[in-house]
Amino acid sequence: MASRRGVGLGAFANRTQATQSYATHGANLRSTHTSSLQTQLSVFQSLLHTFALEHSSTIKSNPTFRAEFARMCNVIGVDPLAASNVKGKNGRKGPGDSTSFWTQIMGGDMNDFYFEVAVRVVELCRETRSENGGLLGVEECRKRVGKGKAIGSGLEVTDDDVLRAVKSLEPLGSGFSIILVGNKQYIRSIPKELNTDQSTVLEAIQVLGYVTVSMLQINLNWEKARAQTVIDDLLADGLVWVDLQCPEKEYWSPQNLLGDGDEG
Amino acid sequence: MTTTTTTTTTTTTRFPFPLRYSFPAFFSLQPNSNTRAVQFKHWSKLIQSWCRHHRIYKISLVEATKSPLFRNSELRKRLSLSDARTVLDWMSKGEEEGGGGKRAEWVDGGKSVVWVWWRRPEEWAEVIGEWVESTGQKNVVLTVYELIEGEATISQEWHGMDTEVMFRSLNVLVKQGKAQIFGSEGQEGVKFF
């Protein structure tokens, strides 16, 4: 076709035809792709569905298994918590159905589970806020949630569950976030950023148990004023406690006091 | 741990100190007002449960600052006399005044001896009233001594109670018209209605 140089008016018609058939062909290819992908996806979804249903009790009861399952979902790009709250307007089931994955396969139990965890996390953060300045270790939080307040109300959860629960609070604009100090994760329940110096000091406390101004000066090579300022800020935010009964003031983190005497 | 003497009194068992007791900074009053408020709360809780455990109703501050309550010999930290006074002052104020709900009361103006109300007299009155009711002792005359030291009250939490606290509690009942106190000093009797 292309070998013959089109002349005359017919050439125009030919060219249009060619473009058109390219376009149709492209569209065809695309739709085949899409449909095959859709089939794959739906096959996969149904498999995942079956899997989840088959193991639903294990997922609910076994925190390690649950974490692994959630991780698997994450890897393949399914966010189990992605619950856009728009209920399917036309009530049609299908890929467009926008209830959360967990809800679809577990009948809402799983979402409820994370919301329950989230509620406890929020409670805990509020309870302890004035003592720890709104910084709560994920690990401590997990332990506390695991204990529960009333008899039999403990939820066996993993750190991963706690993180997921905090994440599920995001749409509420709650100001709860996860921050990393050193290699330890914290839930920050006061929307205030820690600057680098403050994080550094908190990290030092994690490692050493406590710090003093001169310890900071020596170890971090900071000037006295800088060390003092950072400490004073942390103290003002309630993130550290001061022990005055020492040759030099010692600053301690109240992180380990959690879950003690809060009951009764 | 101490399982040998389980039944007699709790005073023989060791007081289970909370985690905070091992937190060095707990023994210094915190400069941050929010933090300090929580600290007061926890001290109040600790003092009350300590007194309850040992059935103590009244403490002398000077002595208390030498006792394990305010002095952690392991950490070598202690709540100083003036800090202890600050804590108890806070406890003695009502919640509406930003205090600890009247869980303490100074015995003297010099603030050296203090009642610790792990139960306030009104609360005791209620407990005693319930006991009278449940044991069917309405319209029965009991001596105050009996009430405090008698065999019938051994199982009750107020057994061996400070006499003055007992009178204050009974007086609450009197005011409510639920009891009457009579007799001469040292030999008072009480009748419940």
| Among A164, A162, A130, A131, CA closest to A144 | A162
User: Does A164 lie in the same domain as A84?
Assistant: yes
CA distances from residue A155 to A110, A114, A143 in whole angstroms, order as listed: 13, 11, 9
Helix (H) or strand (E) holding B143: strand B141-143
CB distance B24–A133 less than 8 Å? no
Pick the more confident residue, A48 or B2.
A48
Q: Looking at the predicted structure, is the pLDDT value of residue A81 above 80?
A: no
Total domain count, chain B: 2
CA distance B30 to B37: 9
User: Does B187 lie in the same domain as B102?
Assistant: no
User: Does A152 lie in the same domain as A116?
Assistant: yes
| Among B90, B86, B190, CA closest to B131 | B190
Which residues in B112-133 are b (16+ Cβ under 10 Å) and which e? eebbbbbbbbeebbbebbebbe
Lowest mean pLDDT among A39-53, A230-244, B39-53, B135-149: A39-53
CA distance A161 to B14: 38
User: Does B94 lie in the same domain as B31?
Assistant: yes
Name A203's Cβ contacts closer than 8 Å, sequence gap at least 6. Answer: A181, A182
Output the domain CATH number for residue A247: 1.10.10.10
Q: Is A208 on the interface with B (CB under 8 A)?
A: no
Residue type at position A70: A
Output the domain CATH number for residue B155: 1.10.10.10
State which residues form the domain around A220.
194-259
- pLDDT of A59 reads 75
CA distance B157 to A60: 45
Average pLDDT over residues A104-130: 77
Residues paired with residue B60 on neighbouring β-strands, in sequence order: B113
Asked if residue B93 is part of any domain, the answer here is: yes
User: Does A110 lie in the same domain as A78?
Assistant: yes
Chain centroid to Cα B111, Å, comes to 17
Chain A contacts in chain B segment 47-86 (CB below 8 A): 76-78
Give the domain-ending residue among A144, A164, A191: A191
Total domain count, chain A: 3
State which residues form the domain around B138.
121-192
Asked if residue B98 is part of any domain, the answer here is: yes
B163-182 tens-digit pLDDT: 899 999 999 999 988 888 88
Q: Is B46 on the interface with A (CB under 8 A)?
A: yes
Asked if residue A37 is part of any domain, the answer here is: yes
Give the domain-ending residue among B58, B87, B116: B116
Asked if residue A60 is part of any domain, the answer here is: no
Asked if residue B39 is part of any domain, the answer here is: yes
Nearest CB to B20; choose among A237, A250, A260? A260
- pLDDT of A106 reads 58
A165-215 tens-digit pLDDT: 888 888 777 788 888 888 889 998 888 888 899 999 999 998 888 999 999
* Stretches in chain B below the pLDDT threshold 70: 1-12
- pLDDT of B9 reads 44
Asked if residue B137 is part of any domain, the answer here is: yes
- pLDDT of A102 reads 57
Residues paired with residue B141 on neighbouring β-strands, in sequence order: B191
User: Does B109 lie in the same domain as B56?
Assistant: yes
User: Does A135 lie in the same domain as A25?
Assistant: no
Q: Is B60 helix (H, G, I), strand (E, B) or coil?
A: strand
User: Does B147 lie in the same domain as B98?
Assistant: no
Pick the more confident residue, A4 or B95.
B95
CA distance A157 to A67: 9
E strands in B55-121 = 58-60, 71-72, 77-78, 104-106, 113-116
User: Does A247 lie in the same domain as A180?
Assistant: no
Q: Count the alpha carbons within 13 Å of A64 in the hemisphere toward its beta carbon.
A: 0
**Residue A256 burial (C-beta neighbours within 10 Å; 0-12, 13-18, 19+):** middle
Average pLDDT over residues A210-222: 93
Residues paired with residue B142 on neighbouring β-strands, in sequence order: B190
Phi, psi for B88 (deg, rounded to 5): -70, -30
User: Does B86 lie in the same domain as B52?
Assistant: yes
Asked if residue A157 is part of any domain, the answer here is: yes
User: Does A154 lie in the same domain as A244?
Assistant: no
User: Does A235 lie in the same domain as A137?
Assistant: no
Asked if residue A7 is part of any domain, the answer here is: no
CA distance B168 to B187: 16
User: Does B181 lie in the same domain as B134?
Assistant: yes
Asked if residue B60 is part of any domain, the answer here is: yes
Which residues in B172-187 are b (16+ Cβ under 10 Å) and which e? bbeeeebbeeeeeeee
Asked if residue A121 is part of any domain, the answer here is: yes
User: Does A163 lie in the same domain as A102?
Assistant: yes
Residue A107's pLDDT band (boundaries 50, 70, 90)? low
Q: Looking at the predicted structure, is the pLDDT value of residue A95 above 50?
A: no
User: Does A204 lie in the same domain as A172?
Assistant: no
Asked if residue B57 is part of any domain, the answer here is: yes
- pLDDT of A93 reads 41
- Contact in structure between B165 and B120 (CB atoms under 8 Å): no
Q: Is B149 helix (H, G, I), strand (E, B) or coil?
A: helix
Pick the more confident residue, B155 or A53.
B155
- A68-77, A93-102, B8-17: which has the highest mean pLDDT? A68-77
Give the domain-ending residue among A176, A191, A206: A191
Chain A residues within 8 A of B28 when measuring between CB atoms: 241-245
Q: Are strands A241-243 and B58-60 parallel, antiparallel or unpaired?
A: unpaired
Give the domain-ending residue among A173, A191, A209: A191
CA distance B70 to B81: 9
CB distance B27–A241 less than 8 Å? no
Asked if residue B2 is part of any domain, the answer here is: no
User: Does A181 lie in the same domain as A161?
Assistant: yes
CA distance A98 to A109: 17
Across chain A, mean pLDDT equals 78
User: Does B25 lie in the same domain as B64?
Assistant: yes
- Contact in structure between B57 and B165 (CB atoms under 8 Å): yes
Q: Is A51 on the interface with B (CB under 8 A)?
A: no
User: Does B54 lie in the same domain as B25?
Assistant: yes
- pLDDT of A90 reads 37
CB distance B23–A133 less than 8 Å? no
Asked if residue A5 is part of any domain, the answer here is: no
Q: Is the ipTM of this complex over 0.85?
A: no
User: Does A179 lie in the same domain as A82?
Assistant: yes
User: Does B127 lie in the same domain as B40?
Assistant: no
User: Does A219 lie in the same domain as A154?
Assistant: no
Nearest CB to B27; choose among A245, A260, A261? A245
Helix (H) or strand (E) holding B189: strand B189-192
Lowest mean pLDDT among A16-25, A82-91, A101-110: A82-91
Q: Looking at the predicted structure, is the pLDDT value of residue A156 above 80?
A: no
Q: Which residue has the tokens 């189990």?
A: A80
Output the domain CATH number for residue B97: 1.10.10.570
User: Does B103 lie in the same domain as B22?
Assistant: yes
Chain B residues within 8 A of A256 when measuring between CB atoms: 19, 23
- Contact in structure between B44 and B52 (CB atoms under 8 Å): no
| Among B78, B67, B36, B29, CA closest to A131 | B36
CA distance A39 to A33: 10
Q: Which runs of consecutive H residues, i.e. helices, occur in B94-187?
A: 121-134, 144-149, 163-175
CA distance A140 to A120: 13
Chain A residues within 8 A of B37 when measuring between CB atoms: 130
